[in-house]
Amino acid sequence: MSETTSNAFVMTSAEVRHLLDVAHDGGYAYPAINVSNLDTAIAAMQGLEQANSAGFVQVSIGAAKQASPSGDPVDGSIIIGRLMRDLRKLHHVPIMLHTDHCHADYVDTWLKPLLVELKRLRDAGEEKIFDSFMFDGSHDEIHDNAATIRELLPMVQAVDGVLEVEAGGKWGGMEDGVADKAVYSTPEDVAVIQRTFTDAGLDEDDYLLAVAFGNAHGTAVIPDLKPELLAEIAEKTGVRNMYVFHGGSGSSDADVRAAVKDGVVKMNVDTDTQYEFTNGIDAFLVAADGKQRSHREGKKFFDPRKWNAAGRKAMAEKVSRVAELLGSAGHADAVSYRSVLDPVVS
């Protein structure tokens, strides 16, 4: 296989689904790392490369707004998405590009217009940018949630994407407007979402499903995880799910491993990696404190290239450790991955 082919590539939705299926069958999950700029994107991908792990690199609406000079999340998504698309070509592990947590309030101002713009770019011949998209309907009544999924699904399919959704419940933490513990998803709510995809001719391997099993975004609320709920839902609905673990930061290693055992194939990590990036910078500056930091001699300390490099290194190491915890480290054999899907490549 040529060097160009063995490098990371733009993935089809079938290839994304294949990677998820392999993880599910193999009993491991992929890290999903939120990024906000060039340096954090480099760190996320370097961490996956160091661990020899496939994974997701994803952008929230906040990061998308920050990436746009005008604060427009659609423009910002395209800007940072193109940056990530070009970066992953320099790596040898499969990296999936994802838009994270679009609450119902932002569907009409972010996700739908983004999908329209991505379709326009696709029709104009531009290389694909994002591989998957997340709609967070957890704050909606379950049938309203399903109705929005029905609207979004053909738009996602038009850009050859995979859709990630939520099925009832709420995560703990003020980031989601929930001051206390999470509200747990129920098998009944999950069944409604599953039927929405079944009615569209899809099965459980064609989408990602996040359920609330005690998760908490951020670290202000300690998660009260019940990973066994994942297996219970699968048993009661009779459907094997491609579960997503939201709010992985701050969770115990034991709970993470239990959730993966019960079907999680993707775990979102944001707060912990944000902390490692900033802590790496802080440690660099603290180490420099007291040394020669005059205008001339101190450039090696205050030059952003120096402290950004320290942040990237710390964050990359954290991403690698997350991959080890999830069991995905060492499984990113890009050659066999591609050969399974495209036997004619040589």
Binding-site annotation: residue ranges for dihydroxyacetone phosphate: 218, 247-249, 268-271
Binding-site annotation: residue ranges for Zn(2+): 101, 136, 166, 217, 246
Whether residue 123 lies in the annotated active site: no
Q: Locate tokens 């450790």: which residue?
A: 321
Biggest alpha carbon–alpha carbon distance for the chain: 68
List own/partner pairs for 277-285 with CB under 8 A and 24 or more apart. Answer: 277/39, 277/40, 277/43, 277/311, 277/312, 277/314, 277/315, 278/311, 279/314, 280/310, 280/311, 280/312, 280/313, 280/314, 280/315, 281/307, 281/308, 281/310, 281/311, 281/314, 283/310, 283/314, 284/310, 284/311
Assess contact for 248 and 235: CB atoms under 8 A. no
Binding-site annotation: residue ranges: 101, 136, 166, 217-218, 246-249, 268-271
Distance (Å, whole) CA 76 – CA 69: 8
Assess contact for 90 and 49: CB atoms under 8 A. no
Q: Which of 75, 100, 131, 176 is catalytic?
A: 100
Distance (Å, whole) CA 3 – CA 11: 17
Distance (Å, whole) CA 52 – CA 224: 31
Query: Which active-site residues does the annotation give?
Result: 100
